[in-house]
Amino acid sequence: MKVLGIAGSMRRNRNTDALVGAILDVMTRIEPSFEADVVHTADLDVHPCRVVCHEAHCSVERFRCSISDDVGGVLDRMVEADALILAAPQYFRGPPAGFHTLIERLISMAYFHETAGHPAEGSPLLGKPCGLVGVCEYSDPQLILEYLRDVCALLSMNVVQLRTFPYLGVGAHGAVDQDEVFRPLDRTAELATGLIDAARAYRARGTA
């Protein structure tokens, strides 16, 4: 089985990466057969959706885009994975532009195809289990977790929630090893076990 983390920070080896790494560590410790991989959006060549080209491209064929960059490769890795982790820090009230540009492209392709009259059921991301990580410093990580939940809704993926606060996913406020409110490092273990169960069920179903 495969799990893919998408780490949306522009900085390597900081809070977002630490939480994605902690979740993947627990998953591979519990289930050594899991292949863990991480996409760092800071390393990607990703361009914004052009929108005006959709009638000749993604409206006709789902996830076919007129732009040649790294989005197609990331999508292929998402489709191959049995579980995903979407992780983003907050930059000026929203996610980093590099992360959101990737998300905008993925959602645009799915949206234009569906609104051109094709059924949503054909999506290769339908029902994909997805854990969420939202990181901030002085704001509320709930904002980023809600943004990530909407991303999953727009891509027809299933959010793997926590049974404990903040429920939607791992939230972090400030340095992850000092946050006594959101307790992000404790929550990574809970999310990891939830993702393992969801990935097994997803694989057993063979689809959504």
Ligand X SMILES: Cc1cc2nc3c(=O)[nH]c(=O)nc-3n(C[C@H](O)[C@H](O)[C@H](O)COP(=O)(O)O)c2cc1C
Minimum gap (Å) between residue 182 Cβ and ligand X: 12
3-state SS of 55-120 is HHCCCCCCCCCCCCCCHHHHHHHHHHCCEEEEEEECECCECCHHHHHHHHHHHHHHHHHHHCCCCH
- Residue choice 2, 14, 118, 200 for contact with ligand X (CB under 6 A): 14
Residue number closest to ligand X, CB atom: 14
Q: Is 146 exposed, middle or buried (0-12, 13-18, 19+ CB in 10 A)?
A: middle
Number of residues binding to ligand X, judged by CB under 6 A: 15
Q: Does 16 bind ligand X (CB under 6 A)?
A: yes
Q: Does 15 bind ligand X (CB under 6 A)?
A: yes
In whole angstroms, give the CA distance from residue 192 to residue 162.
Answer: 10
Minimum gap (Å) between residue 40 Cβ and ligand X: 10
Q: What is the CA radius of gyration of the chain?
A: 16
User: By CB under 6 A, which span of 27-35, 43-51, 63-71, 136-144 interacts with ligand X?
Assistant: 136-144
- Residue choice 86, 136, 155, 170 for contact with ligand X (CB under 6 A): 136
- Name residues contacting ligand X, limited to 70-109 (CB under 6 A): 89-93
Spatial CB neighbours of 70, under 8 Å, sequence gap ≥ 6: 44, 45, 46
Minimum gap (Å) between residue 87 Cβ and ligand X: 8
Minimum gap (Å) between residue 190 Cβ and ligand X: 20
Minimum gap (Å) between residue 184 Cβ and ligand X: 11
Determine the 3-state secondary structure of 170 from DSSP.
Answer: strand
- Which residue ranges make up the site for ligand X (CB under 6 A)? 9, 11, 14-16, 89-93, 135-139
